[in-house]
Amino acid sequence: EAGVTQFPSHSVIEKGQTVTLRCDPISGHDNLYWYRRVMGKEIKFLLHFVKESKQDESGMPNNRFLAERTGGTYSTLKVQPAELEDSGVYFCASSYDRGGSGNTIYFGEGSWLTVV
């Protein structure tokens, strides 16, 4: 069974440009999450989708970040325009159930973003 896949694995863009990160969750997982770690900081929650609906987007840093999950399958996270402080690694994760404690949250390998 394929795990959570993310694309691109690495991206280098200039300040002011746009980058779109894609995440394909494990098949059948309703829950999809985005997390990120910027330089020197902990991994932090960005947002949570249940199918195509944004369940919790309290971690989104500002309106330069836009996440979508059309059709409830894959998700994209767009950063526009990118700033230097956006550099870091963006993790996508997915899980099966809508609640409870028993379901494992699986992470992808991450998309490493460098803004220069």
Partner 1 sequence: LAKITQPISMDSYEGQEVNITCSHNNIATNDYITWYQQFPSQGPRFIIQGYKTKVTNEVASLFIPADRKSSTLSLPRVSLSDTAVYYCLVRTSRTGFQKLVFGTGTRLLVSP
d(CA 23, CA 103): 19
**By CB under 8 A, is residue 49 in contact with partner 1?**
no
Q: How far is the CB of 16 from partner 1 (least distance, A)?
A: 27
At its nearest, how many Å lie between partner 1 and the CB of residue 29? Answer: 12
Nearer to partner 1, 4 or 82 (CB): 4
Site for partner 1 in 67-106 (CB under 8 A): 91, 93, 95, 98-101, 104-106
Nearer to partner 1, 2 or 14 (CB): 2
Q: Which of 15, 56, 80, 85 binds partner 1 (CB under 8 A)?
A: 56
Interface with partner 1 (CB under 8 A), residue total: 26
Q: Which CB contacts under 8 angstroms, 24+ apart, belong to 33-37?
A: 33/92, 33/93, 33/94, 33/95, 33/105, 34/67, 34/75, 34/77, 34/90, 34/91, 34/92, 34/93, 35/90, 35/91, 35/92, 35/93, 35/107, 36/88, 36/89, 36/90, 36/91, 37/88, 37/89, 37/91
> Which residues of this chain interact with partner 1, rule CB under 8 A?
4, 31, 33, 35, 42-45, 48, 50, 55-56, 91, 93, 95, 98-101, 104-110
